Amino acid sequence: MKKDFGKIAVFWDNSYLWGLIAWRAFADLGLDFELLTAEQIRTGALDGSDVLFVPGGWASDKILSLGDEGARRIREFVRAGGGYLGFCGGAGLALTHKSGLGLTPIGRLPASIRVPSFSGRIGLRLEDGAHPAWQGVAGETEFYAWWPGQFALGPENAEVRVLARYGRPGNDSYVTDLPVDPHVDWNAWEQSYGINLNPERIEGEPAVIEAAFGEGRVLLSYLHFETPGDAAGHRVLLNMIGYLRGAPADREAASKAAVKTRAAVGRGLWRAPAPAPASAPEAAAAIERAAAAATGPQADVAALAGSLAEAAAQLLEFGRRNFLWFQRNDWLLQWRRGVRGIEYSTLYAMLRQLAELAGKDAAARRDDRPATGGIDSEMLARLNELVTSFVEDAPSLLMLERRAFGHGPLSPLMTEDPQIAALRKRLFSTTKRCGGLYREIVDLADAVLLPLLRKN
């Protein structure tokens, strides 16, 4: 299969959870791919690649990490005939706006028009069922969208081809913390929350588009076809890569990939275990165990990583027991509006992945098998310090937010409670983009994970 689909570069910076999901999908599908940082792209690492894949994440952070030289390198790569495939934030990066590469002449709809908080399955209305992207996909099929943007596509953009439009939401979908259901009075909820919620607003809007840039092709989707466990989505992902590479989609490879994808569902991905009833002190106790491991030799690195993952799992359990979220699927929480659910999901996923790879590395060393190169113990010790500090304050914030729900809907950003405001600023910053102590943790975890992921 590696030969059939060419060499794929995955732009890693500022992807976090979405980068891990892409890594899992590409590894499960047996693709020949390489995780590239912005620094590597700036120094010509795209040379020899067939397709550049950009996962989700904030486009504004991605463009900053690339800088002018990195952005130029990507444009030159596509202009010379390379393929660009971007999902969600990766799609936004390719657009024409202050945080975009300008690979297409369109931008995003303004926030006042978008429905920013949809998540779950949604139907796709295929504009051209004969396009290679949809090989093996018939009619209006449901795929996953996770808080998608919307393309600002007008009649003046005739050179941009719409491949699919949003259809109707699936039965498991949500808009913010509201399950999509015929009995929901969307007008009333929009007045209460002060944001666009009605999913009918996005029905018929472009969801997947194609454009030319020089000699290359650009495929952009606000649907996440790499979503864990989505065999049909993974088939589309392979179709798109094959199309961008200029090779016909391989039916046999796609069929085998679908089987592997279904089998991978049983692994649990980063699903938190079912721990004993948790409290804030129990999460802190897990961190104390991590601190003890941090002072030991290299052999204790796996124990430290495991303790950090345990502390994050206890924090998830703390929020669950306080009715702030529930486990929506194997890799994601569903949270109440007003708390930072995607951040807690990401924190656990990254620490759990680190623990898994650290354990694998330690086992290889014990058995005198080739290891992954080890983990920087000093970086891990610093990560322990940051996570310790986060776990000490996060339960207090969650309890204050739970209490605030008694006074009505809670905004994830605006609050008149000075305690909530101070803790939010310290842990997450005051903007939607990830910041604060959380950003320090995921950036450092990302730096520790990257060399391990490359060797697994």
Question: Average of pLDDT values for 152-177?
Answer: 93
Contacts 24+ apart (CB under 8 A), 327-336: 327/271, 327/272, 329/228, 329/229, 330/228, 330/229, 330/265, 330/268, 330/269, 330/270, 330/271, 331/17, 331/21, 331/228, 331/269, 331/270, 331/271, 334/174, 334/177, 335/177, 336/177, 336/405, 336/410
Residue 242 CB contacts under 8 Å (≥ 6 apart), including other chains: 4, 5, 132, 248, 249, 250
Estimate the crossing angle of helix 17-28 against helix 251-264, to 10 degrees: 120
Highest mean pLDDT among 254-258, 285-289, 434-438: 434-438
Q: Which residue has the higher pLDDT, 373 or 321?
A: 321
- Cα-based torsion angle of the residue sequence 20, 287, 440, 327 in order, rounded to the nearest 10 degrees: 40
Q: In this predicted structure, what is the pLDDT of residue 265?
A: 42
* Closest residue by Cα to residue 452 from 373, 382, 384: 373
Chain-centroid distance, C-alpha 81:
27
Measure the CA–CA gap between 211 and 249, rounded to whole angstroms.
19
Q: Which two tokens stand for residue 130?
A: 């004969």
Q: Average pLDDT of the chain?
A: 88
Mean pLDDT of 165-172: 94
- The torsion angle over the Cα atoms of residues 173, 177, 180 and 186, rounded to 10 degrees, is -150
Of 18-22, 320-324, 357-361, 386-390, the range with the lowest mean pLDDT is: 357-361
Residue 262: its pLDDT value, please? Answer: 47
pLDDT band at 276 (very low <50, low <70, confident <90, very high): very low
Report the pLDDT value the prediction gives residue 201, as an integer from 0 to 100.
95
pLDDT tens, position by position, 188-240 = 999 999 999 999 999 999 999 999 999 999 999 999 999 999 999 999 999 99
Q: What token pair was written down for 73?
A: 């390198």
pLDDT attached to residue 364: 67
| Residue 76 reports pLDDT greater than 80 | yes
Q: Which two tokens stand for residue 442?
A: 């995921």
Is pLDDT of 362 > 50? yes
**Domain residue spans of the chain:** 2-266, 280-454
Range from 24-28, 38-42, 277-281 carrying the lowest mean pLDDT: 277-281
pLDDT digits (tens, 9 = 90+) for 374-395: 688 899 999 999 999 999 999 9
> In the predicted model, is pLDDT for residue 286 greater than 70?
no
* Predicted local confidence at residue 376, as pLDDT: 83
Residue listed under structure tokens 């951040």: 343
pLDDT surpasses 80 at 273: no
Q: Compute and round to an integer the Cα radius of gyration of the chain.
A: 22
In angstroms, rounded to a whole number, what is the distance separating the alpha carbons of residues 112 and 8?
Answer: 36
Read off the pLDDT of each residue in 329-345 and give the average, rounded to a whole number.
95
User: Looking at the predicted structure, is the pLDDT value of residue 451 above 70?
Assistant: yes
The residue type found at 424 is R
Q: What percent of the chain shows pLDDT beyond 70?
A: 85
Alpha-carbon separation of residue 54 from 38, 90, 132, 261 (angstroms): 11, 5, 20, 20
Per-residue pLDDT, 137: 84
Q: Given this model, what pLDDT does residue 1 score?
A: 46
Q: How far apart are CA 333 and CA 348, in angstroms?
A: 10
Q: In the structure, what pLDDT confidence band is assigned to residue 270 with cuts at 50, 70 and 90?
A: low
**2-266 placed in CATH 3.90.226.10:** no
Beta strands in 156-227 (DSSP E): 161-169, 174-175, 178-179, 206-213, 216-221
HSE-CB of 259 using CA atoms within 13 angstroms: 5
Q: Quick one: pLDDT at residue 349?
A: 96
Amino acid at 340: R
| Alpha helix positions (H), 219-340 | 231-245, 251-264, 280-294, 301-321
Six-digit token string for 153: 């596509």
Mean pLDDT value of segment 170-194: 95
Is residue 369's pLDDT more than 70?
no
- Taking the alpha carbons at both ends of the chain, their separation in whole angstroms is 18
Average pLDDT over residues 246-268: 53
Can you tell me the distance from the alpha carbon of 342 to that of 325, in angstroms, rounded to the nearest whole number?
11
Q: Which of 34-48, 78-92, 148-162 is predicted least confidently?
A: 148-162
DSSP class per residue in 88-156: THHHHHTSSSTTS--SSS-EE--TTTS-TTEEEEEEEEES-TTSGGGTT--SSEEEEEES---EE--TT
Q: What is the mean pLDDT of residues 233-258?
A: 76
Element (H, E) at 9: strand 7-11
